[in-house]
Amino acid sequence: MIVILKNGIKKEETESFTKYLEKFGVEVHPIVGETQTILGLVGDTSKIDTTVIQSNRLVEKVMHVQEPFKMANRVFHPENTVVDVMGELIGGKKIAVIAGPCSVESYEQVLEIARSIKKSGAGFLRGGAFKPRTSPYSFQGMGLEGLNILKEVKKETGLPIVTELMSIEMLDKFIEDVDLIQIGARNMSNFDLLKEVGKTKVPILLKRGMSSTIEEFLMSAEYIMSEGNENVILCERGIRTFENYTRNTLDLSAVPAIKKLSHLPIIVDPSHAAGMWWMVEPLSKAAVSAGADGLMIEVHNDPAK
Ligand code: PEP
Ligand code: MN
């Protein structure tokens, strides 16, 4: 339920009204605008009599939210959310570009790539240190050593770092060292992990699960936000369909759908979607045309090897 308060209601009045609403056993999340405050009620609102709330002198309007996600819902927060990652904005006017290798392989490799992507205009450096691989026999990433390489390269280039967190044990280290924590497609439904990153204030890049609906994707964002971390950026990275020419099917319709349903920024990862380098350029253009707030592109210094 969304309660829109009248213009110019005093802070103390909002606070006492919030306490009153909390007595119904719901959580109240205020969005304080310049002239108006909106209260988002999360939880079981069935015991609340809408007519009583509507007749309160502080209240302009009461709205019911049909979708199961509240904090991620655009109704709850009509303005676009802009996430600040070390002064680089995602969700604003500029298309955010995150680029870098799939995996961190060495200091020299990451530094070479970072310098090159910076020159090309990218604002963020990505690179996996802990890799979620389909096969346990594939390279699992350099782990903490890889994280340290990213940190060193950040000192050189100033580019904020984006890297994937796979387990809760590493969270404290990531809070210290990582500017934008990636939750990968395979962990989109790891609700314990989502809750833990939700308790931090570090911006989170949440990738869409490979077989997840748009609603499930937004519910995962809701897990993070309901713990208090509202700095969530969504990433469409392709979904499983019957088509097997491409690695995944890039669901570009998710971009306008999410723009309509949610206020959160959404970026597109054409690399993991298509799995073919020559598709990255046309799909990037299409993503931006569809309204994406940014792109995440894999880059390698020696792709042939
Ligand atoms: C990645 O970005 O490195 C990655 C593994 O992507 P995804 O989780 O989308 O498969
Ligand atoms: Mn990859």
Whether residue 184 has its Cβ less than 6 Å from ligand 1? yes
Cβ neighbours of residue 56 under 8 Å, at least 6 residues apart?
Answer: 17
Instruction: Identify which of 261, 204, 260, 281 has the alpha carbon closest to the alpha carbon of residue 235.
Output: 204
Give the number of the atom of ligand 1 that is nearest the alpha carbon of residue 184: 8
The helix/strand/coil state of 160 is coil
Where the chain has pLDDT below 70, the residues are none
2-63: CATH topology is Alpha-Beta Plaits (3.30.70)
pLDDT score at 199: 98
User: CATH for 83-298, among 3.30.930.10, 2.40.128.110, 1.10.760.10, 3.20.20.70?
Assistant: 3.20.20.70
Model confidence over 96-133: pLDDT tens digits? 999 999 999 999 999 999 999 999 999 999 999 999 99
Question: Where are the domains positioned within the chain?
Answer: 2-63, 83-298
Which among 186, 207, 220, 235 is the best mutation to test ligand 1's pocket, defined by most ligand atoms within 8 Å of the CB?
207
Q: Is-same-fold flag (2-63; 83-298)? A: no
Question: Does residue 272 line the site of ligand 1, with CB under 6 A?
Answer: yes
d(CA 77, CA 163): 28
Q: Are strands 232-236 and 124-126 parallel, antiparallel or unpaired?
A: unpaired
pLDDT at 156: 98
Pairwise CA distance, residues 10 & 279, whole Å: 54
Residue appearing with tokens 């869409």: 208
Q: Please tell me the pTM assigned to this model.
A: 0.91
For ligand 1, say whether the CB of 102 is within 6 Å of any of its atoms.
yes
Q: What is the pLDDT of residues 188-239, one digit of tens each?
A: 999 999 999 999 999 999 999 999 999 999 999 999 999 999 999 999 999 9
Q: Where are the alpha helices (DSSP H) in 25-165?
A: 50-54, 107-119, 144-157
What integer pLDDT is reported at residue 66 of this predicted model?
A: 81
